[in-house]
Structure 1
Amino acid sequence: MVTGGQGFIGVNLVSELQKRGYDAWSADILQSKDLRFLRCDVASYRQIQRIFEGKEFDYVYHAAAEYGRWNGEAHYENLWNTNAVGTKNILTAQKEYGFKLIFFGSAEVYGDYDGVMAEDVMERIPIKQMNDYALSKWVNELQILNSSKMDGTESVRVRLFNVYGPHEHYSPFRGVVPVFIYRALHGLPYTVHKGHKRTFEYVEDICRSLANIIDDFKPGEVYNLGSEKQYSIEELSDIVVKHTGADPSKITFKEEEPFTTRFKIADSSKAKADLGHKMTITLDEGIKRTVDWFKLAYRIGE
């Protein structure tokens, strides 16, 4: 089962798991016409119990969360209720029902650290998370570690970097890729903050690595799922302009954005060794595919 299965990564992951022959179900607070769908707000333990009635899940991918640093600041009640209480509820259900858990964490937990982000950095160096979203994701990891010690639950944590691709709808709180593409296709201005570099991971590549976790499940492990090549946000914007035909004069350039790290350098060597993790889709090709999806989803050009 995938909690948050109607979300961007969840939809793609359920599809990948079903392609592999798994009986993969989706659980989400949103409605769905999918036959393998269970409606549930993870912040309600009663609703979580109900979805396990009569069903036995070997693995649960826990993707349900309030996403994004600015969303977390604007809607912090929702953030903490869904992310902290919701994850505690999932862990309580794990103790009761005995499934193995794969938790969707975030590279935001690396906070103000500006070096190579290896998984053990969190154990070696005092880190200051820079926003409520990052704090909530680190709290979630601590909850999981405590549950493992106290209750013997078995979990794997993953830290995602900048995943993008089809099925990520526009919101002003989403990442730069959907925001840039949506606004570019609609002829709207957008802002590029200079001085930042990021890795970008196409969602199909990430979902392949996520699905590989259950082939050789290693309780207690934590994996970075990132890529090696870094791009400046200006370079990303140029690729978006290339594939959308947007007017460059509508782009405003500003200095670095506050409360964010300037560089995120991912060390994904452990995921490469254990999960066969690799990026097969270039940023240029991935942006092209994502632009094509946006045109269909938002009926642009009809």
Structure 2
Amino acid sequence: MERHILVTGGAGFIGSNFIAHMLINSNYFITNVDSLTYAGNFENTIPFEKSNRYRFIKADIGQKDELSKVYDQKYYAIINFAAESHVDRSIEDALPFIHTNIYGTYNLLQAVLTGKAQKMIQISTDEVYGSLEPDESPFIETTSLAPNNPYSASKASADLLVRSFFKTYQLPLTITRCSNNFGPMQHTEKFIPKVITNALNNIEIPIYGDGLNIRDWIYVEDHCRAIHSVLEKGVSGEVYNIGGSEEKTNLEIIDCILKELGKDKNLIKHVADRKGHDRRYSMDSSKISSELGWKPIISFNEGIKKTKEWYRQREQNSG
């Protein structure tokens, strides 16, 4: 029996990597819906067109009328990657984040409520938990939500909507919250792609403040495997934290990349710190590990080598 899944935001970084993973590692038929904003790159999806289990529909999940055209069939699951996600942009203008991350999520929940999909996975972020001090324990699934910027506030709001629809209507909904992703196909405004591409072109690399902000990093393929596990074995109403257990300061990341590329540290330029800049994120993934049997298998160093090579090839092809 054919099973169809609706992937929202599948032209974006994590969504496109997830579709690539699922076309290889499952038999699902995939509908990709994306509004193709600056964050969605249609080129990411071109290889998928070769598969008879894939189709693309351009639509904005925040516009209910537009979204209605994807419901020409019932879906086994919706996996909601679609999101505005760049913190700096949310500080400049939060409205697009409210539109996509909150209204969009609501529209998808309505689809589950009205029987257009059997269940839904909400792809969230560790940023909804706020910031940790250096000596604090990692975030667990019951850590209180304490977002510190408009982006993370919009994602926390969406998570609470999902929780409310589960509690009120007993819908089969799950939430995943992942640490910082890196890998191929990520927009160059994001930290690691910007460092790599600037270094390749001998352009100054800006770093906020003292550069000692800490993030827990995970290679995108490991994140996709985790979501696949939640799709197959996740329990309704549950939250699953996903992390790489690779905590590093921003300076450590830049040093690692510069060494990989044989570039000089003189490229680093400290700039004024971001407003409301969270100091540290750290994820405890023991729940998804013990309950669903997932764990990361690609180390940070291995992932950086793969990522560096992907962007090097892209720079050569575009040059």
Regarding TM over 0.5, the answer is: yes
The CA RMSD measured in Å over matched residues stands at 1.9
Q: How does 1:120-159 map to 2 (within 5 A)?
A: 120-122=142-144, 127-159=145-177
- AA of the residue aligned to 1:76: A
Q: Is the 8 A contact 1:295 1:301 kept in 2?
A: no
**Does residue 1:287 correspond to 2:304, yes or no?**
yes
Match in the other structure for 2:23: 18
Q: Is the 8 A contact 1:166 1:290 kept in 2?
A: yes
Question: For 1:107-142, what per-residue CA distance to the aligned partner results, in whole angstroms no more than 9, with x for missing partners?
Answer: 1111134332111112xxxx5321101110110011
**Does residue 1:82 correspond to 2:100, yes or no?**
yes
Name the SS of the counterpart of 1:158 in structure 2: strand
**Does residue 1:297 correspond to 2:319, yes or no?**
no
Question: For 1:244-291, what per-residue CA distance to the aligned partner results, in whole angstroms no more than 9, with x for missing partners?
Answer: 233321112468654122221211100111232222212122111111
Q: Which moved more, 1:41-50 or 1:225-234?
A: 225-234
Match in the other structure for 1:238: 255
Q: Which moved more, 1:161-170 or 1:255-264?
A: 255-264
**Does residue 1:177 correspond to 2:192, yes or no?**
yes
Q: CA deviation at 1:229?
A: 3.0
Name the SS of the counterpart of 2:88 in structure 1: helix
**Does residue 1:186 correspond to 2:201, yes or no?**
yes
Match in the other structure for 2:3: none
Distance 1:132 1:56, change over 3 A: same
Q: CA deviation at 1:243?
A: 2.0
Q: Is the 8 A contact 2:179 2:282 kept in 1?
A: no
Match in the other structure for 2:91: 73
Match in the other structure for 2:35: 29
Match in the other structure for 2:217: 200
Distance 1:62 1:37, change over 3 A: same
- AA of the residue aligned to 2:278: T
Match in the other structure for 1:162: 180
Give 5+ residue unaligned stretches, structure 2. 1-5, 37-41
Name the SS of the counterpart of 1:117 in structure 2: coil
| CA distance, structure 2, for counterparts of residue 288 and residue 112 of structure 1 | 29
Q: Is the 8 A contact 1:66 1:83 kept in 2?
A: yes
Question: For 1:184-214, what per-residue CA distance to the aligned partner results, in whole angstroms no more than 9, with x for missing partners?
Answer: 1121111234222221100111101111112
Aligned residue among 61, 64, 69 for 1:45 = 64
Q: Which moved more, 1:21-30 or 1:263-272?
A: 21-30
Q: CA deviation at 1:74?
A: 1.9
Name the SS of the counterpart of 1:38 in structure 2: strand
Match in the other structure for 1:62: 80
Name the SS of the counterpart of 1:36 in structure 2: strand
Match in the other structure for 2:120: 101
Q: Is the 8 A contact 2:182 2:219 kept in 1?
A: yes
Name the SS of the counterpart of 1:246 in structure 2: coil
Q: CA deviation at 1:91?
A: 0.8
Q: Is the 8 A contact 1:5 1:63 kept in 2?
A: yes
| CA distance, structure 1, for counterparts of residue 10 and residue 317 of structure 2 | 26
Distance 1:165 1:248, change over 3 A: same
| CA distance, structure 2, for counterparts of residue 207 and residue 128 of structure 1 | 26
Normalising by the residue count of structure 1, what TM-score does the alignment of the two structures yield? 0.91
| CA distance, structure 2, for counterparts of residue 229 and residue 295 of structure 1 | 24
Name the SS of the counterpart of 2:195 in structure 1: helix
Q: Is the 8 A contact 1:185 1:300 kept in 2?
A: no
Count of aligned pairs between the two proteins: 294
Distance 1:234 1:113, change over 3 A: closer
Q: Which moved more, 1:212-221 or 1:6-15?
A: 212-221
- AA of the residue aligned to 2:62: A
Distance 1:238 1:117, change over 3 A: same
Aligned sequence identity (%): 28
Q: CA deviation at 1:41?
A: 0.4
| CA distance, structure 1, for counterparts of residue 227 and residue 295 of structure 2 | 11
| CA distance, structure 2, for counterparts of residue 46 and residue 301 of structure 1 | 37
